[in-house]
Structure 1
Amino acid sequence: MLVSSTELFHIADKKNFAIPATNFIDALTAKVYTETAESLGLPLILAYAESHQDYLSLEEAAWIGKHYAEKVSVPIVLHLDHGSDPTFIKEAIRLGFTSVMIDGSSLSFEDNVQVTKSIVEYAHSHGVVVEGEIGHVGSNTVSYEGEDNDQSQYTTLSEAKAFSQSTGIDSLAISIGTAHGEYTGKPEINFERLNEIDKELSVPLVLHGGSSTGDENLKRCAREGMRKINIFTDLIVAAHKEAQTQTPHYMALRDNLERGFKEVLTHYYHVFETQPIELKG
């Protein structure tokens, strides 16, 4: 069931859990993610990143995402992750994405506000919700987001408040110590900053760079305010390991990849303490 994230985040906030956001890069990944969500009776953010357009075009992603979302009964949000090009984001909205992210976190605060506000106005006029980012989640040693070095900038409470009020965003990605890609060590999460921001802001908070952050860290993030947690690298790594467990002909390789994706997503559903959501109407 293809839906917006608004009511999902509202329920998650009331019950203190997070919903996983999983990036798909082809039909197989979208199929496994949505079927896993369906088998567990749990909601999912099915995400496609602008940086993945070399693997899968936006048009293909929209068709695949809507196709698999509409084949299941659980709530599925089709989300554009890390959009930076306003034209690309507007095209995603036209093609049927129900949620988009405008990532202006590498810009100055003023420029980030300006571009985010313009996307919010356009998206809201089409019934689509918008995620913004303040602070900057960089990358570690290996990244699938097109970055090659860690340039994280932690989110401050004052900027988070001003950014939210100035743009009218529906959810906010903040930087509190995670990074994209594989970690060389265990990250230190600034829970004090998370609690400060969660207490002062009414919009749902989003955590990028969830992979390999540690189960206890992520469980605590979900319990203390994060309503959407992005995982991608751990899914890809697990699938790669499964693919090496036997000499693969095509069908065996496919089965192994599916098993790796499903096991990791199921694990994170438990870590995030995600609960079923039944939507009315």
Structure 2
Amino acid sequence: MPLITTGELIGRARAEGRGLAAFNVITLEHAEAVALGAERAGRAAVLQISENAVRFHGGDLTPIAQAAAAVARASAAPLSLHLDHVTDVDLLRAAHPEGFSSVMFDASNLPYAENVKATADAVRWGHERDIWVEAELGRVGGKEGEAPLDAHAPGVRTDPDEAAAYVADTGVDSLAVAVGSSHAMTSRTASLDHELIRALRARVPVPLVLHGSSGVPDAEIRAALAAGVVKVNVGTALNTGFTGAVRHFLTEDTATVDPRKYLTPAREAMAEVVTHFLQLTG
């Protein structure tokens, strides 16, 4: 199936009153697992490649982007390609030639005024190329290389009035908000502020995005969707499934040297995670 644009998938989800799950891709097996899980669930999904993943691949976006795009085009599921948590302007500008229909430009670590200016510049660049631009306001901590951040600390969560002004001043197409989740959580214990989500939904005209969803229990995600979240980002849960399957296989079979033997169950474990989150958000 041809690549679908992220904007189209978000529009469909919003019109149908459901969520859209987006999954971070690090390896080819991640992309294959997302496609397989989406086909099994009969749902659309977003394949996300982060700046950290590009750095892992030597700083070259092209190989992993083209591999993910090829997997998506070969799939029977509607899939889009999204460049996630971009801080490097050069990487942002590499998105268009590689077929990305959306980017998440992350200036959330900058002071508010600088965040607005940098994000508005990214939005202008993206809209000239029909690229959907997501941004973040508030701080969803836990990203690799960041100092630990308490999701419940004062000043961390997104303010609804500030969010409304931010969207108006930047022109972003969707907004990632800090409502109690955190990146890289390996246990699903996060508690979300659903009243804040409802307040943000009332003040912000663009779709809301929940980052760090791997650490959020199913019931909390359902409540977040009901309160107004549309896009749900999942990364660490895939890696937990992948690593757990590899660790189990190699513990049971210490003689195997062929990576296909343990990457097969690892890919299957990730596909099961994908199917679960797609059924949950659907």
Distance 1:68 1:223 in 2: 32
Q: Within 2, Cα distance between the matches of 1:234 and 1:131?
A: 22
The letter of the residue matching 1:146 is: G
1:252 aligned to which of 261, 269, 282? 261
Q: Which residue of 2 aligns with 1:277?
A: none
1:147 is aligned to 146
CA distance in 2, matches of 1:198, 1:163: 14
Alignment of 1:175-194 (within 5 A): 175-182=178-185, 186-194=189-197
Please point out which of 68, 83, 87 is paired with 1:84.
87
2:198 aligned with 1:195: yes
**Judging changes above 3 Å, is the alpha-carbon distance between structure 1 residues 218 and 185 closer, same or farther for their aligned structure 2 residues?**
closer
Question: Shift of residue 11 of structure 1?
Answer: 2.2
Distance in 1 (CA, whole Å) between partners of 2:83 and 2:200 is 24
The share of aligned pairs that are identical, in percent, is 29
Greater displacement, 193-202 / 238-247:
238-247
2:124 maps to 121
Select the residue among 240, 243, 259 that pairs with 1:240: 243
Equivalent runs, 1:255-266 vs 2, <5 Å: 255-266=264-275
C-alpha distance in 2 between matches for 1:75 and 1:203: 22
- What is the number of residues matched between the two proteins? 269
The CA distance in 2 between the partners of 1:183 and 1:148, in whole Å, is: 17
User: How big is the shift at 1:89?
Assistant: 0.5
> TM-score, normalised on structure 2?
0.90
Paired residue secondary structure (2:74): coil
Amino acid at match of 1:47: Q
| Structure 1 ranges of 4+ moved more than 4 A | none
User: Is contact 2:123-2:170 (8 Å) kept?
Assistant: yes
Runs of 5+ unmatched residues, structure 2: none
Contact between 1:13 and 1:225, CA under 8 Å: does it hold in 2? no
Q: Deviations over 1:104-123 (max 9, x none)?
A: 11111111110111111111
Partners of 1:46 and 1:102 in 2: how far apart? 16
Q: CA 1:35/1:242 → structure 2, altered by over 3 Å: closer, same or farther?
A: same
Indicate the RMSD between aligned Cα atoms, in angstroms.
1.7
Structure 1 residue 223 and structure 2 residue 226: aligned? yes
Instruction: Tell whether the 8 Å contact from 1:132 to 1:169 is kept in structure 2 after alignment.
Output: yes
1:270 and 2:273 correspond = no
Contact between 1:195 and 1:224, CA under 8 Å: does it hold in 2?
yes
8 A contact 1:187–1:213 mirrored in 2: yes
Task: Give the equivalent residue in structure 2 for 1:39.
Answer: 40
Shift of 1:137: 0.3
Instruction: Assess, with a 3 A threshold, how the Cα gap between structure 1 residues 265 and 10 changes in structure 2: closer, same or farther.
Output: same
* SS of residue matched to 1:47: strand
Corresponding position of 1:279: none
Give the structure 1 partner of residue 135 of structure 2. 132
Q: Could you give the per-residue CA deviations for residues 125-177 of structure 1, whole angstroms, max 9, x where no partner exists?
A: 111110011111002xxx5x333411541000011100100111111000000
- For residues 67-102 of structure 1, give each alpha carbon's deviation from its aligned partner in whole angstroms, at most 9, with x where no partner exists: 111112332110011001112101122322110011
Deviates most, 33-42 or 74-83: 33-42
Q: Is 1:50–1:82's contact at 8 Å kept on the other side of the alignment?
A: yes
Matched, 1:15 2:12: no
Preserved contact between residue 41 and residue 279 of structure 2 (Cα < 8 Å): no
User: How many Å apart are 1:64 and its aligned residue?
Assistant: 1.2
Structure 1: how far apart are the matches of 2:46 and 2:275? 14
Structure 1-normalised TM-score?
0.90
1:161 aligns to what SS in structure 2?
Answer: helix
Name the CA distance, whole Å, in 2 between partners of 1:187 and 1:256.
28
- CA shift, 1:184, in A, is 6.3
Are the counterparts in 1 of residues 135 and 174 from structure 2 also a CA contact under 8 Å? yes
The reply on whether 1:100 has 2:123 as its aligned counterpart is: no
